[in-house]
Chains A and B, each alone.
With several copies, the nearest count.
Chain A
Amino acid sequence: MAVETQNNASDRLSAEIAGLDALELGGKQRGSIAGRLWGRLWPMGIAVLLVLAVWEIVVLSGRWPEYVLAGPTTVIPELGARLADPEFYSAVAVTMRRALVGFALAMLIGLIIGALVSRIRPLRAGVGSLITGLQTMPSIAWFPLSILLFGLTETAILFVVILGAAPSIANGLIAGVDYTPPILLRAGHMLGFRRLQLYRLVILPASLPSFLAGLKQGWAFAWRSLMAGELLVIIANQASIGEQLHYARELADSAGLLATMIIILFIGIVVDMVFEAADTSLRRRWGLHQARN
Chain B
Amino acid sequence: GGGDTASTTSPSGAGAGAPKEVRLGFFPNITHSTALVGVEKGLFAKHLGSGTALKTSTFNAGPAAIEAVFSGAIDATYIGPNPAINAWARSKGQAIKIIAGSASGGVYLVVKPEIKSIEDLKGKKIATPQLGNTQDVALRYLLQEKGFKTNTQGGGDVSIIPQENSQTLQTFATGDIDGAWVPEPFASRLIKESGAKVLVDERDLWPNKQFVITHLIVRQEFAKQHPDTVKKLLEAHVEANAQIASDPAGSAQTVNAALEKLTGKPLKPEVLDPAFKNITFTNDPIASSLVGSADHAVKVGLLEPVDLNGIYDLKVLNEILTAKGQQGVADK
Contacts and interface: CB of A to CB of B under 8 A. Distances in A.
Contact of A67 (B95, B151, B265): B95
Contacts of A250: 60, 62-63, 86, 130-132, 164-166, 263
Contacts, number: 159
B161 A234 contact: yes
Interface string A3-47: 000000000000000000000000000000000000000000000
A275 interface: no
Interface of A: 64-65, 67-68, 143-144, 147-153, 155-156, 231-239, 244, 246-254, 256
Contacts of A251: 86, 90, 132, 166, 263, 265
B30 to A, nearest CB: 11
B169 A252 contact: yes
B10 interface: no
* 6 closest cross-chain pairs (CB), A and B: A151-B4, A252-B169, A247-B263, A150-B1, A151-B73, A252-B166
B70 interface: yes
A144 B265 contact: no
Majority-rule SS of B interface residues:
mixed
A99 to B, nearest CB: 19
Nearest to B153: A237
Given A65-B173, A256-B264, A246 B60 contact: yes
B322 interface: no
Nearest to B58: A234
A148 B174 CA distance: 7
B263 to A, nearest CB: 4
Given A234-B131, A234-B162, 11 more contacts: A64-B173, A65-B193, A67-B92, A147-B170, A147-B174, A151-B176, A231-B60, A232-B163, A232-B167, A250-B62, A256-B264
A222 to B, nearest CB: 21
Contact of B176 (A67, A147, A155): A147
B167 A143 contact: yes
A250 B151 CA distance: 19
B265 A253 contact: yes
Interface of B: 1, 3-5, 23, 28, 55-60, 62-64, 66-68, 70-74, 83, 86-87, 90-92, 94-95, 125, 130-132, 151, 153-155, 159, 161-167, 169-171, 173-174, 176-177, 189, 193, 263-265
Contacts of B62: 250
Given A67-B173, A250-B63, A152 B68 contact: yes
Given A153-B4, A237-B151, A68 B174 contact: yes
Contact of A237 (B23, B130, B154, B189): B154
Contacts of A152: 4, 23, 57, 68, 73-74, 125, 161, 171, 176-177
B1 A68 contact: no
Contacts of B64: 143, 147, 231-232
B90 to A, nearest CB: 5
A63 to B, nearest CB: 8
A271 B7 CA distance: 42
A68 B173 contact: yes
Contacts of B151: 237
Contacts of A234: 57-60, 131, 153-154, 161-163
A251 B164 CA distance: 10
Nearest to B263: A247
Contacts of A235: 153-154
Q: Which of B87, B164, B177 has the most CB of A within 10 A?
A: B164
Contact of B91 (A65, A238, A246): A65
Contacts of B130: 250
